[in-house]
Amino acid sequence: MVALAALVQICAAGAAGQVTARNPLSRRRDLLSNGLGLTPPMGWNTYNHFHWNISEEIIRETADAMVSSGLAALGYQYINLDDAWAEHERDPQGNLVPDAATFPSGIKALADYVHSKGLKLGIYSDAGNLTCSKLQPGSLGYEEQDANTFASWGIDFLKYDNCHDNGLSPKVRYPVMSKALLNTGRSIFFSLCEWGREDPATWAPAVGNSWRTTGDISDHWESMLRRADENDKWASYAGPGGWNGLMILNSLETDPDMLEVGNGGMTNDEYIAHFSIWALAKSPLIIGCDVRAMSNETYQILSNSEVIAVNQDRLGVQGRKVKEGDLEVWAGPLTNNRVAVVLWNRGSSRATVTAPFSDIGLRADLADARDLWVHMTIPSVKEQISADLDSHACKMYILTPK
Ligand SMILES: *[C@@H]1O[C@H](CO)[C@@H](O)[C@H](O)[C@H]1NC(C)=O
Ligand SMILES: *[C@@H]1O[C@H](CO)[C@@H](O)[C@H](O)[C@H]1NC(C)=O
Ligand SMILES: *[C@@H]1O[C@H](CO)[C@@H](O)[C@H](O)[C@H]1NC(C)=O
């Protein structure tokens, strides 16, 4: 974690903003023809909770828990390995090799297991010479070979990281893997994780199905606000087939060890705001906690099907901040002329937040307001919606014009 954060800073400071001769946008149609990501991806990733300590047992048990908890039925379908699944060295033919100690059955067998549960398996590599952990080789210079390996294993998703970049721009490195994945003939969701370097929203829609717009998030209020705000300015670049990716949903977990060492964490109201804003912003909803041992509070947040429905709405327009300050309004259009709105008190004391319908794009004076966290409908609301909110709390509604 610490090492990665340091790297992000170094890279950000050294970002040269090079423009390459190739214009990736000209490839848009070809590279999006994988047909994936019509709505933001939903699933789970190993990194937030397990870091580099992962194993096939963890993956199988998580797949089981995704199904038994009901999260799979709500749309969370990708089970994604992050860093540290492979041996330090390639085999004599140059192939990546699953770690013999932690993935003894191999990735193909794991993919078969995950598929048997009706889920999809994601894998991780890096557009550099080594992955961020330095525990396994990166794919730079091996894009075709690694893409073919992933396809032969039945992989459905690739998260492609940005460490040890050999001094090359992401605009040079990422399209090579994008093309290699397409050439395999298997539909593999391509998730760019280059931490927002060189404004990926402006070129990555040609290259992948989602792209991180920011650096890592950490599990506290200020970090969450910063990432939400940084991501907001790229809203107009997102749409079906390609999404602005905020970092994987923060842990949403009560980890006693972390609390013991005073490691921050957020309150339940703050996690609810986090999930509401990520959903409205059409971010990938990738869970970071140990779903085998989720708290009830965490489950209640992640399983809110009405909030998920906003994220997965077919219109695919990223909601954005329409009123700034301590008392914020975020909103975005949905199918059938509906509007999703989040009223959010970012200030330090209880206050009323108000959104006039004219500010949030609702073309009506009268609307039914569905409260997505209380699960009740307020009929015939006139001209504006407002709520009294505790510090850091939010309300999320869908407004349906009458
Ligand atoms: C892996 O687990 C061990 C023991 O629980 C822990 O000390 C170590 O920090 C973990 N490593 C990572 C990278 O999370
Ligand atoms: C990194 O990988 C590239 C592509 O395979 C190679 O040309 C280069 O020599 C490598 N650099 C280092 C420092 O290993
Ligand atoms: C889980 O949380 C919900 C909402 O906070 C609450 O209504 C319910 O009683 C809780 N269930 C258990 C088993 O604690």
Ligand 2 centroid distance, CA of 166 (Å) = 6
Split at pLDDT 50, 70, 90, the class of 275 is very high
Nearest CA among 70, 153, 159 for reference residue 115: 153
pLDDT of 260 higher than 50: no
Catalytic residue among 146, 156, 161, 232, which?
161
The pocket around ligand 1, CB under 6 angstroms, is made up of 51-53
pLDDT for residue 111 = 98
Whose atoms come closest to the Cα of 140: which ligand? 2
Q: Give the C-alpha separation, 210 to 390, whole Å.
A: 34
DSSP string, 353-396: EEEEGGGTT---SEEEEEETTTTEEEEEEESEEEEEE-TT-EEE
Whose atoms come closest to the Cα of 163: which ligand? 2
Split at pLDDT 50, 70, 90, the class of 392 is very high
Among this protein's residues, is 146 annotated catalytic? no
CB distance 295 to ligand 3 below 6 Å: no
Q: How many residues does the chain have?
A: 402
Q: Residue 313 has what DSSP assignment?
A: -
Domains and CATH numbers, the chain: 42-312 (3.20.20.70), 320-401 (2.60.40.1180)
Q: What are the pLDDT digits (tens) for 181-231? A: 999 999 999 999 999 999 999 999 999 999 999 887 777 888 889 989 999
Q: Which has the higher per-residue pLDDT, 113 or 264? A: 113
Nearest CA among 330, 291, 270, 297 for reference residue 71: 291
Residue type, 108: K
Q: Give the C-alpha separation, 86 to 180, whole Å.
A: 20
Residue type, 9: Q
Catalytic residue among 126, 216, 219, 290, which?
216
Our CA angle for 394, 398, 402, nearest 5°, is 140
For residue 49, give the 3-state DSSP assignment.
helix
CB distance 300 to ligand 3 below 6 Å: yes
Q: Residue 24 has what DSSP assignment?
A: G
How distant, in Å, are the alpha carbons of 202, 233, 321 from that of 242? 11, 16, 20
CB 137 within 8 A of CB 145: no
Ligand 2 centroid distance, CA of 168 (Å) = 11
Task: Name the percent of the chain lying above pLDDT 90.
Answer: 77
Centroid of chain to Cα 295: 21
Among this protein's residues, is 156 annotated catalytic? no
Kindly report which listed range (29-43, 146-160, 269-283) carries the lowest average pLDDT score: 29-43
- pTM of the predicted model as reported, rounded to 2 decimal places: 0.88
pLDDT of 56 higher than 80: yes
Split at pLDDT 50, 70, 90, the class of 376 is very high
CB distance 268 to ligand 3 below 6 Å: no
